[in-house]
Structure 1
Amino acid sequence: MVECDTELPEIQGQLIRMLAHGAVISGADLAYALGISRTAIWKRLRQLTAMGIRVVAVRGRGYRLAEPLELLDQTVITAGLPQAISARLDAFHFPFAVDSTNAMLMRLPLATRPRICLAELQWAGRGRRGRVWHTPVGAQIPLSMSYAFAALPADFPALGLAVGVMVAKALTRLGIEGIGIKWPNDLVWQERKLGGVLIEMRGEACGPCEVVVGVGINVNLPERSAARIDQPWTDLTHIAGSARPHRNQLAQALIVALVEGLDQFAAEGLAPFLPAFQTFDALVGRCVQVEQGGQWHPGIALGINERGGLLVRDSEGIRTYWSGEVSVREMST
């Protein structure tokens, strides 16, 4: 949730990368490296402060960040991928800043092999139902993957649930316990939002098509950014402290999980993901309210059916709700 709604100049990204490790660098050295004046450096540093990145001026020496930033490193990420996964990828796009990682992949020509897009900063990332998902520098994992299907799978409407399982299992393997999936597309921990999934599609409903799978995970949200979130939230730092996985390690795990999981979904549909979903289901047995057509319907969540529909028992029986039509909010018992 940064104070930024326009494109971040590439030179700003270079400046952040130079300062990210936390060491003091003189204004003269910064200016020389970036090919701009010291006055321009000062202005750029003020812009970083406005974005929520605290810069400290050390008298007579230069500038440093108040806290080092753990930036993503494409070389580290790709080097750590299994060869079988690397061989599957068509391209790896890694802009420092982008409007939306999903949108960037959607603008590219269709591809037959998976593409990855990662960024440090998003200023117009999208969540479900058009919600804006801003990404502060160094604070989240905004990862998108495009994936081509020879034909649209019959279980396609439930793909978001399957992706939720892929991500939850990846986080669990990295030592993050207690992850839940809140139907239809939220990843939660102790009833607080940790991340989310967004699925977009292009192509033919009865022929080849491409989906873009967007995954956002909160890693180390600064309080200033978190203050703008309109629901209870958490991040991996709150959950695991110093034991949390590094961002590069997390990105690697997500890429592997998505490639392998989407291959499985293409071949087998939702069925193999259902048992794991039951273990991660954050709503089953809970009192919920389901919004549909502007009306809220209370009931008890019973899990999902074999097609991914949410089952809710209310005063009239058991109803089935489908992803893309409703929102779910837990209510007090």
Structure 2
Amino acid sequence: MKEHAVKLAILDTLADGYFHSGEELGEQLNISRAAVSKHVKGIQEWGVDIFSVPGKGYKLAGSMQLLNQQRLQSEVSVPVELIPVIGSTNQHLMDRIGLLQSGSVCIAEYQSQGRGRRGREWVSPFGCNLYLSMYWRLEAGMAGAMGLSLVVGVAIVEALEKLGIEGIKLKWPNDLYYRDKKLAGILVEMSGQAGAAAHLVIGMGMNLKMATNTQGITQPWSCLADAVEHDIDRNQLAITLINSLKTALSEYEITGMQGFVERWNRLDNYLGREIRLIMGEREVIGISSGINEQGAVLINTDNGLETYIGGEISLRGI
């Protein structure tokens, strides 16, 4: 954290969206203009769009609202740790499982080693998205965690609906979509032993206002800004998501998947559409028919209604 203090202080000043000279920034931080320039280059490596104009100074391409630890903690009932620059919020919690209270949250502005499902990289530029992980102790054990990513997806979309954001859909088993493009991903990692409680770390990365020229993303993607006409309050969004996740996970411990099937099917991006399910070399083609109480995807094929618990879904022909 200390090693990034100067960069974060520069960003805090630039977050208002106005020009600030290198001299002004240097005086504020008691560093040289050359040092300011060096730190600005480091910030740009985080994916932040900063430009400079001779005689005016440095300016963000757009205003930036930074996350606020005090506000976050004051409006949720679980411990929240804001680490602006981190390797991975999921890994941070995984490394501290024995020390955490159930429901503990880690949230970041930037991840240098963000990851998605199957070990894929999750591109995580600074300050324009939301990277959040929650630890949950599931007394039902690892077997009881089947379909948990579906529950998390429902909780996230319902949280967005509470904020008046409509049109967000779910893609089985762990993605959020807007207009057939990926908006957010969910990664559930777990540890534990048979007969004992499961230790779950539930991670979510959501695109909020990401630059269209962001590099490293290999599939069509969308941003929450595409779905709303106003600026997104990142702190309020995080607060609403955390509270919704905590409520949904508590409900899941009581009802299991049974309490979430209808809620998930209401939000299914592909319900009633022709899809293909890819499992290694095998493909299944049919009409998407939602999920069942085990969290399996239902596909109406030429052989009738079939259920699958693994694989990757896409629209047929894409």
TM-score, with length taken from structure 1: 0.88
Which ranges in structure 2 are unaligned for 5 or more consecutive residues?
none
Q: Contact 1:287/1:332 (CA < 8 Å) preserved in 2?
A: no
For 1:34, give the aligned amino acid. Answer: L
Distance 2:115 2:265 in 1: 27
Q: What secondary structure sits across from 2:83 in the alignment? A: coil
* Alpha-carbon shift at residue 50 of structure 1 (Å): 4.5
From 89, 92, 101, the counterpart of 2:80: 92
CA distance in 1, matches of 2:139, 2:114: 28
Counterpart for residue 216 of structure 1: 205
Q: Which residue of 1 aligns with 2:138?
A: 149
| Cα deviation, residue 205, structure 1 | 3.3
Shift of residue 305, structure 1, vs aligned partner: 1.3
Distance 2:281 2:269 in 1: 24
Distance 2:12 2:117 in 1: 31
Please give the residue correspondences for 1:57-72 in structure 2 after superposition, counting only pairs within 5 Å. 57-72=52-67
Alignment partners' CA distance in 1, 2:97 and 2:287:
44
Measure, in 2, the Cα distance between the counterparts of 1:221 and 1:33.
Answer: 29
Structure 1, residues 241-270: CA drift from partner, whole Å, max 9, x if none? Answer: 22x541111001001001111111112211
Structure 2 residue 173 is matched with structure 1 residue 184: yes
1:134 aligns with 2:123: yes
Deviates more, 1:149-158 or 1:113-122: 149-158
| Residues 190 and 40 of structure 1, relative CA distance in 2, 3 Å threshold | same
Question: Deviation of residue 153 (structure 1)?
Answer: 6.3
Residue range with higher mean Cα deviation, 178-187 or 309-318:
309-318
Which of the numbers 30, 33, 37 marks the counterpart of 1:38?
33
Alignment partner of 1:230 is 2:218:
yes
Pairs aligned (count): 316
Q: Is the 8 A contact 2:123 2:217 kept in 1?
A: no
Match of 2:305 among 318, 324, 332: 318
Between the aligned partners of 1:282 and 1:109, the Cα distance in structure 2 is 34
> 1:171 maps to what in 2?
160
User: Counterparts of 1:290 and 1:60 in 2: how far apart (Å)?
Assistant: 57
| TM-score for both structures, normalised by structure 2 | 0.92
Is 1:300 the counterpart of 2:287? The answer is: yes
Q: Indicate the percent of aligned positions where both proteins have the same amino acid.
A: 35
1:235-254 to 2 correspondences below 5 Å? 235-242=223-230, 245-254=232-241
CA drift at 1:154:
4.6
Q: Does 1:48 align with 2:53?
A: no
Contact 1:141 1:247 in 2 (8 A): yes
Secondary structure at 1:161's aligned position in 2? helix
Q: 2:147: which partner in 1? A: 158
Alpha-carbon distance in structure 1 between the residues aligned to 2:210 and 2:258: 35
Q: Which residue of 2 aligns with 1:4?
A: none
Q: Offset at 1:71? A: 1.5
How far apart, CA to CA, are the structure 2 residues paired with 1:163 and 1:327?
A: 18
Q: Tell me which residue corresponds to 2:317.
A: 332
Counterpart selection for 2:93 from 83, 94, 105:
105
User: How far off is 1:285 after superposition?
Assistant: 1.4
Output the CA distance in 1 between the equivalents of 2:142 and 2:95. 23
Shift of residue 26, structure 1, vs aligned partner: 3.1
Q: CA deviation at 1:59?
A: 3.7
Number of the residue aligned with 1:266? 253
Secondary structure in 2 aligned to 1:199?
A: strand
Which position in structure 2 is the counterpart of 1:277? 264
Contact 1:52 1:224 in 2 (8 A): no
User: Would the alpha carbon gap of residues 255 and 96 (structure 1) be closer, same or farther in structure 2, given more than 3 Å must change?
Assistant: same
Give, as a single letter, the amino acid of the residue that structure 2 aligns with 1:320. T
Q: 1:38 to 1:192 in 2, by over 3 A?
A: same
Instruction: Rate the CA distance shift 1:332–1:15 in 2: closer, same or farther, 3 A.
Output: same
CA distance in 1 between partners of 2:200 and 2:125 (Å): 25
Q: Which residue of 1 aligns with 2:243?
A: 256
* Whole-angstrom CA distance in 1 between matches of 2:59 and 2:147: 47
For residue 286 of structure 2, what is the amino acid of its counterpart? Answer: G
Between the aligned partners of 1:165 and 1:121, the Cα distance in structure 2 is: 25
Greater displacement, 120-129 / 19-28:
19-28
Deviation at 1:293, TM superposition (A): 2.6
For structure 1, the residue ranges without an aligned partner over 5 or more in a row are: 1-7
Give CA-to-partner distance per residue, 1:214-257, whole Å, 9 cap, x none.
112111011121x5422222111111122x54111100100100
Contact 2:141 2:192 in 1 (8 A): no
Q: Which amino acid aligns with 1:237?
A: A
* Superimposed CA distance per residue, residues 146-172 of structure 1 (whole angstroms, 9 cap, x where no aligned partner): 011223165411110011110111111
CA contact 1:154–1:269 (8 Å) conserved in 2: no
Question: Which deviates more, 286-295 or 10-19?
Answer: 10-19
Which amino acid in 1 is paired with 2:288?
A
